[in-house]
Structure formats: C-alpha cells, structure tokens
Chain A
Amino acid sequence: MTKKQSRAPIEANAALLSQLNVISLFDSMTIGVLFVDPARRVIAINRFLEAMTGYNREEIVGVHGENVIRSNLLSKGDPVGQVLESNKTMTLEGDIINQVRKKIPIRFTISPLQLSTGKKAGVMILLEDISLLKDLDSKIHGFSGQEKIIGNSFKMQEIFELLPIAARTDASVLITGETGTGKDLVAEAIHKASNRSRYPFIKVNCAALPESLLESELFGHVRGAFTGADKDKPGMFRLAHGGTIFLTEIGDLPLPLQVKILTVLDDKEFFPVGGSKKVSVDVRIIAATHRDLGEFVKQGKFREDLYYRLNVLRLHLPPLREREDDFRLLLDHFFLEFRTNLHKKIKGFSTACLRILSSYSYPGNIRELRNIVEYAVNVCPNETIQPEHLPKTLLSVPQAPSQSAPRNEGTAQVNEAAIMDDPEMTMPFTIPEPVGWGEVEKGMILKSLTKTGGNRSRAAELLGWSRSKLWRKIKHYGLE
C-alpha cells in the first residue's frame, strides 16, 4: 500500500469528525460536561449538566461558567485559572448549588482545551455527582469520631465542649492522659470534625522506631541517602499533606527530631533525609503523650520551645477512676459490642462480678476495661458472667480503695453469696444509653435555651454559634 493511498481514509475521518457535533457526543454521558473559553464564558454544556444545574444550554451560552455551576472552586485557589495557566489536568472535590437550592457533592476534573495550532481554547470541566459515595462514606465511617467517644461524666462533658473548638482551628493540639484513656480517638475525632477531614489522618508512634528510622519515616528520604535507600520515600508529613498528622507518644521523641518538628511547625517546610530541596507541606499537628511533658522540659528531655508550640490547645483526658459516672456506661457498651460480635446469648454480669469490676482501679483505663469485658464474654459459657469468668489477674489484685475506684451503686448492699447462686439476680442492661456527640450537643442546646428563658439569640451567644447555626441545629434535633 502506498503512502498516498493510506492517507485517504484518515482525511475522510478528519472531515467526518469536523462535521460531527461534538457536544451531542457528550449528551449520552452520565456526568456533567462544561466547556468554557479562556475568559471562562460558557461555550456549551451537555444534557446531564442541564439536568444537574437546572439551566437550559441555550440561555447560558456566553455567561460566566461559575454562574452556571455555582461551585466552591474559587475558594480552592482558582483551579480553572491554574489549568489554563499550566495546561495540566486537575481533579478535585467540591460541591455545587443548583437552581432548586440543592448542594451536590462533586468530583471536578478540569482539563485544558487546545487547538491543533497550540492555541489555548479554554477548559473542559467534568462534574461527577459523588453524593452516593459521600453517603456511603458517612454510613461506613460515621459523621465523626465523636460518636465513638462515650461519656456522661462532668470531665468528659468538658472534653466534648472543647472538641468542636479544637476542630474549628488549625492550631496544634496536645492531648495528655494516662495510657488507655482514648487519646487516639479524640485526635481522630478532631480531624474528622475539621475542614481537613477529606484529607489524610496519619498516625505516627514516636516511641515505636529508633531515631534514624523515625526521621526517615516522618520526613522521608531521597534515593541514596543511606545504605538501602534505593528509592525516594515521601515520609508521613508529605503523605499527610492537607490533613492532620497525629504524633502519639511525643514525649519519647528524640531531641534532634524535636528540632526538626519545630521547624515544620514554624516554617511548614523541611528537608527530607539526604535531600537538598526543601519540601513544603500544609499539615496540622496533633500530639499526644501519657508523660508529664512539663516535667520532661524541666529535666531537659523535651524542648521547651516545642512544648509551648504544641501546647496551644490542651486536652487532658481523665483516667477511668475519675469518671465514676461513665464506668457502667462503658461496661455496658463493651459488653453489648462483644456479645453482638461473638454471637453470644449472655444476659449480663452477676452482681458479685460487678462488685469486683467496680472496685478495681484500672491502671490501664478504658483499654483495660475493654479487654476484661472481651475476655469475660469469650470465656463465659452460660447466660451470666460470674467472677470466675473474669481474668485471673483481676481476682488476685487487691481491690482499689473505694474513694478512687469507680463504683456501681446498688451493688454494695446486696448479699453477694445469694446473688451468685441465683441466676435471676443477674444485673440487666438497662443503664442509660451511651451518649455520643449528638446527644451532648442536643443537651447543650437545651441547657442554653433553659438558661436564657428560651431566647434563641442569647442562647446562640452562649454557645458561641451564629443564630442561623442554632436554628439549623434546633431543626436537626427536632427541638422546635
């Protein structure tokens, strides 16, 4: 076949393509398509975008594209402008508001349009409705981690009140508390309720790795930085870009790395191990420790400047022995969780068992309580958990003095022997429902409304909310 012969059908195809109405090709697609010129005026939209926005394509040709899709793209640093400038495709998530005032979560893909001469012709924006994905995500992960934090005690109420404040800002947070008090859960809850929730939440245990490895883990390394570094590694800070990095056991962080963390906090940039090029990151830092950092500073084990830099917002989680009101709530919560997971038909704990559990001091706090309940539910073959189903270590440990131990009222006056012999005396699980953030927020609204005699403006002031936010919440919780 000669060269001339082979060109004929290609030319024919080109002619055919030019005659095709390209927009009609996009009409069969089930995602919205918008074409705008370099001045961002609408050239065309496909049928799906007509349905999505509520606009007829004829009426909006020539109108600024943003007026049609009404997205929040401008608040994300003008990505359309960036694509026009860089000629590179960009994908990002956001939302639009349509003609019927509905906010739709969207994945935008913005691609440059270029003529064969190389001249910029504008951009094509693909709008993919991700409402279903978002719904699924919220079903799987829940609205926020706060729902996992359980507590009715006064000290936990204080923590619940501080959580939204910590979520609203980008300031560093230092979470302190004994081991097993839920520092990880609180850090995750803050991240999930913050504006960074769509970005990664990366947890690094500073006590888990030796200094040399930890530096590479946190800041990454370049190829050839050390023996075995056969390729570049991004490091946790770079992976957490846009999101939150949770440095747990920060008290165990070696001093040289403390300096590097301080630099990241101040300059938001760092050098990877062996690298000569600075890397910029936008990461929020949440740190946690079970150690007394103030004391560590005095002993010279922790840098004072880093301590103050991290200690902007401080959350101290109380140990279980100081959360007497929560003991039974947590016990029931874990019991129900394990009973369901293990498909057991256990009805509850015997009063004797409860007495042992309530007078133990729980040095391992909630984690220890959870493990004890898991053990007991696993071991118990009957309908009632008896003292012999509890871990042996618990039975051999001397019980904590009554003042410091979580106590369960109603068990102390009952004759232990009689109860142990009588299965009817099993303590039923009718104790208050575990309280999540929603319940607490509802309670806060009611409390402030009661305080202000029903005056919503003053109640909103008390809560530190705008009146419209209070109104939305009242509507949401059905408090009208």
Chain B
Amino acid sequence: MKILLTIYKNEIAPRFDQSSEILIAETEGEKISGNPRIILLPGTSGEDICGLAIKENISLLICGGIEETHYQYLKWKKIKVVDGVIGPYEQALNFAIAQNLKPGMILPGAGIYGEKS
C-alpha cells in the first residue's frame, strides 16, 4: 500500500491545500518497505497534491483539514482519505499501518511543531 502524508516539520500539516511538503511511504503488511520519500513542492496547491497522489498511485492519503471538493475528488479517484489528523506524522503513519488511524484523530504526540510532548 502506498501512503501519502501532507507534512509540516515533524507533524501532519494543518491544512491540505497549504502543504508544500509531502511524504510518500510504501508498506508491506505491517511494515514500511524501503525509505519513505519526502517531496518538496514548488508551491502550495491542493490540485497539485491531488494530481501527484494520482500519478503516484496512492491508496491512502493522510492530511489535516481538507476542503470538501478535494476530498470528494480523491474519493472519486478511489483514494482513501483520513483527514483532520493532528500530531507527528511518524505516529500517524504507524497508526495507519496498524489500521488504527481515524479521521479527526488527535495523536498522543500532538504538541507544537517540531516538538513532541
């Protein structure tokens, strides 16, 4: 399964369309296979991230706040979206692999950017 996370520093970016950094990880069973890739985007655009998710054949997208239009579009493209997630992206990824990540989840490590409480 290929997972895309919109990130800001060590956390899930608060807003999908304002993210300029994304992380793509591939999983096999309950493990991450290979090294996750971090991609810096030239600007912030929800459309561009949608396009990238399709191009990369993403199955699961984890993000913060997302507009309904983008959400419906990704859903239409058969991409599962877990939105409204708050907290460190590593934790989000681990929760997703363990199939415990839920939309709107505030992860235990949610604190200030770059710091884990």
Contact = CB atoms under 8 A, between A and B. Distances in A.
Do A and B actually bind?
yes
Contact-size category for A: 20 to 34
A466 interface: yes
A153 interface: no
A148 interface: no
Q: Is the interface of B mostly helix, strand, loop or mixed?
A: mixed
Contacts, number: 77
Interface stretch (A99-107, A126-134, A176-184, A281-289): A99-107
B18 A41 contact: no
A67 B64 contact: yes
Contact of A63 (B16, B17, B106): B106
A461 to B, nearest CB: 11
Given A67-B64, A97-B65, A101-B68, A60 B106 contact: yes
Interface residues of B, number: 33
B21 interface: no
A167 to B, nearest CB: 15
A41 B111 contact: yes
Contacts of B104: 99
B99 interface: no
A32 B86 CA distance: 21
B15 A101 contact: no
Interface of A: 39-41, 59-60, 62-64, 66-67, 70-72, 74-75, 96-103, 466-469, 471-472
Q: Which 10 A-B pairs have the closest CB atoms?
A: A70-B65, A97-B65, A101-B68, A468-B50, A466-B47, A67-B86, A66-B14, A70-B15, A468-B47, A466-B51
20 contacts: A60-B106, A62-B117, A63-B86, A63-B106, A64-B14, A64-B111, A64-B113, A66-B14, A70-B15, A70-B64, A72-B15, A96-B65, A97-B16, A99-B84, A101-B83, A467-B54, A468-B51, A471-B73, A471-B76, A472-B73
Interface of B: 11, 14-18, 44, 46-48, 50-51, 54, 64-71, 73, 76, 83-84, 86, 104, 106, 110-113, 117
